[in-house]
Structure 1
């Protein structure tokens, strides 16, 4: 009780937002995020919540994506130069809209200010896939992952790296991610990559090997 009394208006609003998120009320998260940002412009904590509330709630229609991008762009403007957390999220929104040139510019602006910004790097990974540039951009991704590999999304980024390998025609490198980067209980990334390799006729490792967990650093 004492802790709740010590919270300021911003903190109480964030707690309310996170409660909505935990309860799965994503449409309310999106609308409440706008209310929060009207009172606390460019609050960086809200950037990923606003994006995920729309995209995770099936908001892939033109109107929903345009609404999201407009609001993210407005918050990036409020935040000013160097606000990589908003620029990176805006880049992801632009990719969702198919606005590839704007997505690249926003992602690169964010990476200029924060080279390890995973949101921006992820936006570029999707951009390269959608534009067929994975093969030529493979050196960029390998260099970025060598310097910045966020533990929380390491397996998913390994999956993306495998797509770059496949685009470059290197199925052996792609297959190594099954044992070196993606644990077998990560059903989405592991199964997806395994199936892609099988479709390409690559002889994958037997299950007892492909399901070996990667060693912790």
Structure 2
């Protein structure tokens, strides 16, 4: 084993430890590791930047922009609220939420879907005195399961598709993975709606805990610092 191999193993291990213990932002840790490899000539500049031209990664970035536009428009919040408003039971609300989300994940990447819907679902759960823990994890799993049906459903499918094209292979068709993804999604949704939520904690959100304590409201005011007034009061 050469010195470079040992150095790469050590640096990658430190990066993974930093990600696990959340010592810094993930993007900073990953880019610092890449910068270290470039500076030590372990990785050339061309090799370091080749990933940014990957078709799958660029598609994921564009889908984040699309999801952000939907979130800012308020359309997603109104749609989710209308779906959940007609639910009479917790399982009914979960059915109305998870099934459409798995369908949306077929055509939009699951990562921006979860990022967009997480604050909306948390807000709805707090307003209806329901533990958000019962919905957030099934929300993520439903998006992942639905994303296995099509090519652009998950970033993993897009990245592998881009790598196949880079090596001169044909790549995936849009619905080529559906014969595996559809039954997996159906079985997974049935489990999440019928059984899975029973194993999740029923903790209340932080807002509900504060409300139950009947805490008083405190009003504070921040004023700009007046240097002359400060020293005059000190002298008095």
Q: TM over 0.5, yes or no?
A: no
Q: Considering Cα pairs closer than 8 Å and 6+ residues apart, tell me whether 1 or 2 has the greater RCO.
A: 2
Q: Normalization by structure 1: what TM-score?
A: 0.27
Q: Normalization by structure 2: what TM-score?
A: 0.26
State the structure with more CA Rg.
Answer: 2
